[in-house]
Amino acid sequence: MKSKKVKTKVMALTVCVVMLLGICGTITASTQVVDVDSDANANAAADFFMLPVSHKIVEPVPLTQQDNKIVPKTTTSTATIWTEVLDMDVLPDIVGWEKYTSGGSASVSGGILTIDTIGNDAYLQFDQRNPGSDWFDNVDNSKGWVVEARLQVDDMTEDDAYLVIWTHDRTWLTQLRIYKDYISWYPGHTLYYMDTTDTYHIYRIEGKGNSYKVYVNGNLAIDGVVTSGGGTFTISFGDGHGGTQTKSYWDYFRYSTVGEEPPPDVSVSTDSFEYCPGDMMTVTMDIANPTEDSVMFQCYWGVPQYSIWVPVMSIPIPAGYNETHNFSFIIPDLGPTPFGNVFYVQLLNTSDVVLDADAACWAYSPGGEAMSAAKVNIAKEIKKTIKRIE
């Protein structure tokens, strides 16, 4: 889809430098929308609609490297559809998990599961190893899976003891072992040193084929390749060692057996870089929402040189949507002064979090018969153009 983006013309890059300077740094949010038809407000920097997003354009990637884009893509990973979630409001064995233990205790309070084998030298774990559970029925090594848990190890845990997240996907057995001062991966025995007792940490495990990755608080900690390892076909978590003493607090435990879901994606491009009054412009927008939730698409026409941002459209995008749209229109007479323009697009979730964003820049080059600066109202002409497109 990104192959459709038009290469920017290096010869016109100097025209866009002014525009880039105008949008570098944080874009401040504002909820005030001013009538752009008002002559008193036209071209006044403080009176125009600013992008109502928390997204920050800090260091725009050079245009010659970004294929007509002035903001880096905001999406860094795929979205996960969780097929099993334990919020720890009740004990896991009440909602279909099995408890295997030789001693110790498990209790739930305030949405936290406490597993305690201090003074017992015992094991205590919860697992799903029987038909009817999502893991048993649906996990597929070739399709991939994700396991994630947020937990804290108590400092009372013995130095050589560990918590374990056991995953067997019918092909490979892998274990994430969580000690007090490091985590390790079995069967690879790769170590990652950290303090697991200082606070809650999020441990995310991704497995597919023979690839095994562990992320801690969103950062890649272990990147391994599985070439051996066998054991009980199950998924489990807790103190699965026995013979040592541990205490831990689990905020949540969840997994997905459907693999990774591509994230929402949006892009915008123009068919050229420099336009004069009377030229035909074609704008291409690619919008994809492969998730199960609707998202909001928003588009703005900006002239950062004059701090003008005019809303073009704001429409909901249903789940499963994947379309390309082309819009063609005549460039209006925007006065005798050349300036840069930006088409900024974004996708937001229901919490107004920006899921993806893109921008295309282009240069307005006045013609010989352009209106004088005293007569032109750039914002008003932009709004009139938008109405003609609709």
Task: Let me know whether 242 and 268 are in one domain.
Answer: no
128 has pLDDT over 90: yes
CA angle 67, 70, 74 (to 5 degrees): 100
More confident residue, 258 or 39: 258
CATH number, domain with residue 366: 2.60.40.3880
Q: What percentage of the chain exceeds 70 in pLDDT?
A: 76
Task: Let me know whether 242 and 295 are in one domain.
Answer: no
Task: Let me know whether 277 and 292 are in one domain.
Answer: yes
170 φψ region: left (φ > 0), alpha (ψ -120 to 50), beta (else): left
Task: Let me know whether 178 and 305 are in one domain.
Answer: no
- What is the average pLDDT value for the chain, to the nearest integer? 80
65 has pLDDT over 80: no
Q: What percentage of the chain exceeds 90 in pLDDT?
A: 59
Residue numbers of the domain that contains 47: 2-76+263-389
275 has pLDDT over 90: yes
Specify the number of domains making up the chain: 2
38 has pLDDT over 90: no
Task: Let me know whether 144 and 236 are in one domain.
Answer: yes
Q: What is the pLDDT of residue 110?
A: 96
Task: Let me know whether 233 and 274 are in one domain.
Answer: no
Task: Let me know whether 31 and 118 are in one domain.
Answer: no
| 45-59, 65-79, 286-300: range with highest mean pLDDT | 286-300
Q: What is the mean pLDDT of residues 296-325?
A: 92
CATH number, domain with residue 118: 2.60.120.200
17 has pLDDT over 60: no
Contact 167, 191 (CB under 8 A): no
Q: What is the pLDDT of residue 46?
A: 26
Q: How far apart are CA 7 and CA 361, in angstroms?
A: 11
Other beta carbons less than 10 A from residue 18's beta carbon: 14
Q: What is the pLDDT of residue 42?
A: 35
Q: What is the pLDDT of residue 353?
A: 84
Q: What is the mean pLDDT of residues 10-25?
A: 33
13 has pLDDT over 60: no
Task: Let me know whether 219 and 268 are in one domain.
Answer: no
Q: What is the pLDDT of residue 171?
A: 93
Instruction: Give per-residue pLDDT as tens, 96-123.
Output: 999 999 999 999 999 999 999 998 888 9
Q: What is the pLDDT of residue 374?
A: 59
Residue by residue, what is the 3-state secondary structure of 46-57? HHCCCCCCCCCE
214 has pLDDT over 90: yes
50 has pLDDT over 90: no
Q: What is the pLDDT of residue 35?
A: 39
CA 303 to chain centre: 28
Task: Let me know whether 235 and 143 are in one domain.
Answer: yes
Q: What is the mean pLDDT of residues 204-223?
A: 93
Contact 301, 343 (CB under 8 A): yes
Task: Let me know whether 163 and 64 are in one domain.
Answer: no
Task: Let me know whether 209 and 292 are in one domain.
Answer: no
Q: Which of 144-153, 224-233, 354-363 has the lowest mean pLDDT?
A: 224-233
Q: Is the dihedral of CA 10, 12, 14, 17 positive or negative?
A: negative
Instruction: Give per-residue pLDDT as tens, 162-206.
Output: 999 999 999 999 999 999 999 999 887 789 999 999 999 999 999
| 34-43, 203-212, 225-234: range with highest mean pLDDT | 203-212
Q: How far apart are CA 340 and CA 234, in angstroms?
A: 59
365 has pLDDT over 90: yes
53 has pLDDT over 50: no
Q: What is the pLDDT of residue 78?
A: 56
Strands 354-364 and 274-275: parallel
Q: Which of 259, 345, 343, 262 is nearest to 298 (CA)?
A: 345
Q: What is the pLDDT of residue 55?
A: 33
Q: What is the mean pLDDT of residues 265-292?
A: 93
Task: Let me know whether 121 and 244 are in one domain.
Answer: yes
Question: Which domain-ending residue is among 260, 288, 309?
Answer: 260
Q: What is the mean pLDDT of residues 66-76?
A: 38
Q: How far apart are CA 50 and CA 307, in angstroms?
A: 8
Q: What is the mean pLDDT of residues 85-93?
A: 96
